[in-house]
Homo-oligomer: A and B are copies of this chain.
Amino acid sequence: MPTPRNCCPQFRRYSRSRTHERPTFQGIYPPVVTPLHEDGSIDFDSLGNVVDHLIDGGMHGLFVLGSTGEVAYLTDEQRVQVITRIAERAAGRVPLLVGCMDMTAARVVEQGRRAVAAGADGIVVTAPFYALNNGPEIADHFRLVAAGVDVPVFAYDVPVRLGGVKLAPEMLVQLGTEGVIAGVKDSSGDDVGYRRLVAQNKAAGSPLKLFTGHEMVNDAVVLMGCDGMVPGFANVDPVSYRRLWDAATSGDWATAVSLQEQINSEFEIVFKPRGRGGDATGLGAFKTAMHLLGLISSPRQPQPLPAMPAEDVAAVREVLVGTGLLK
């Protein structure tokens, strides 16, 4: 018989609410990949495996429907199914942050409400896209979203997908101080901006939880100051990230750097596919590696992303073998 907490998201959330728990949002929240069957439909069994793989690997939480989860390619119905399935399988073991990527606030709020109903403990929201807005309008976008949903909101700073739009540290800390956002996922690759964000957040009394989207410089980001990380590559190797996190947060920098360098040599898989688009390259390499490692049934990505050529799969495999990830 299923326990109450994993039978349905509604009950789980009621239970959490009753005990006044609120997730602390700290540590590693990998963006969960969305495995597909060969026919392109979502492979919920593999998805369940991935959830266990991640939680058993020591992850502190899960980031559902991130860019790595190929959220852009999923219909609204599929998004709800993915959240629901992950919430069921996670069964309250770790908190869930859920990406609610859509063009503008009115649409994000709809995504957010569905996400909360399906089990989100917090939602992750970008600046508007397709729309063209300036800084104050973007700040109001977050205010509108926060007013429309009932869980903490994280701002997701991801210029590479948003035509270069970057969230200013001043704005983020202001929104944190207002209680509009609870944290930031920084995938901007702008380490100066990040360092200023850390400093300004600290000066403001740390209203924000700061997460980095980096995979290759997590040791450095912990050194600079962060509350968590969202490394897509943790889908492949969660254990090393957890060891890195534990070493870095305990001040054992030699070990942290060493682990980071080991992870980076594994992460070279993403530089192996050639001549593909951004999503087919990086996320394709992740899925290919996970398939080779037996974690998911197929490396299939959503249409129109093509299958990876055998030669590139071989190159990915070579990295996995060379680094000892694949025996």
Contacts and interface: CB of A to CB of B under 8 A. Distances in A.
Nearest to A132: B278
A130 B279 CA distance: 10
Interface in A250-283: 251, 253-254, 257, 261, 264-265, 275-280
B279 A132 contact: yes
Interface of A is mostly: helix
Interface in A96-121: 101, 103-107, 110
Given A253-B223, A277-B137, A132 B161 contact: yes
A303 B140 contact: yes
Interface residues of A, number: 68
A78 B107 CA distance: 10
B129 A129 contact: yes
Contacts of A161: 130-132, 163
Interface stretch (A15-23, A190-198, A292-300): A190-198
A106 B302 contact: yes
B223 A137 contact: no
Contacts of A214: 191-192
Nearest to A163: B163
A137 to B, nearest CB: 5
A219 interface: yes
A98 B219 CA distance: 33
A199 interface: yes
A140 B196 contact: no
A74 to B, nearest CB: 7
A275 B107 CA distance: 25
Nearest to A224: B220
Given A161-B163, A163-B163, A163-B164, A130 B101 contact: yes
B141 A304 contact: yes
